[in-house]
Amino acid sequence: MQNKEQFEELFRNNYGQMLRLSMLIVKDEDESKDIVSDIFTEIWDGAINPYVDKPKSYLMMCVRNRCLDLLNHKRIKERVSRLLILDSSLPAINNDTPDMQRLRDIVDTLLSARDRQVLIMKYERKMKYREISDELKISQVAVYKHLSQALKTLKANFK
């Protein structure tokens, strides 16, 4: 941050447009205000420097990137929530029952190799999503997708 007058001018000239852009992307007034306020806080603290050739373009790019990050975070959070719901809705199975053998048959015959591998790593080896993604060298989102597909298949075929 260079000086108070320069900061105030930057704020007055850009806040409205930054807020409108944020509202267009995230469609939530409170979150939009938070995004724009966070950007100006970082400018004030010196964490980012918008005093470049085109400060308006730079600020709008900052808003766009923050909004996209927020939306991406929300999508991942929703996926995890759906997986937890799927996970908790599977029937409890006792290891000594014929149901357990039936479940293993379904896992062995109906699941793809990757879905089966992710399912086993998660539930038999009790690995975390991050550990699975690291070991298989795939993204966590891919782990969520494979696990979700496996659980859907099990649920559909185990009724």
Domain of residue 102, CATH code: 1.10.10.10
Domain annotation covers residue 149: yes
Confidence of residue 39 (pLDDT cuts 50, 70, 90): very high
Which residue range(s) make up the domain with 23? Answer: 4-77
Averaged pLDDT for residues 12-41: 93
pLDDT for 98-112, tens place per residue? 777 777 887 888 889
pLDDT for 140-150, tens place per residue? 888 889 888 88
Query: Any long-range contacts for 9-17 (C-beta under 8 Å, 24+ apart)?
Result: 10/43, 10/50, 10/51, 10/55, 10/59, 11/40, 13/56, 14/55, 14/56, 14/59, 15/40, 17/56, 17/60
Overall domain count for the chain: 2
Mean predicted lDDT score pLDDT of the chain: 84
Q: Is the pLDDT of residue 90 over 70?
A: no
Verify that 102 and 41 share a domain, yes or no.
no
Verify that 62 and 9 share a domain, yes or no.
yes
**Which of 47, 77, 107 is the last residue in one of the domains?**
77
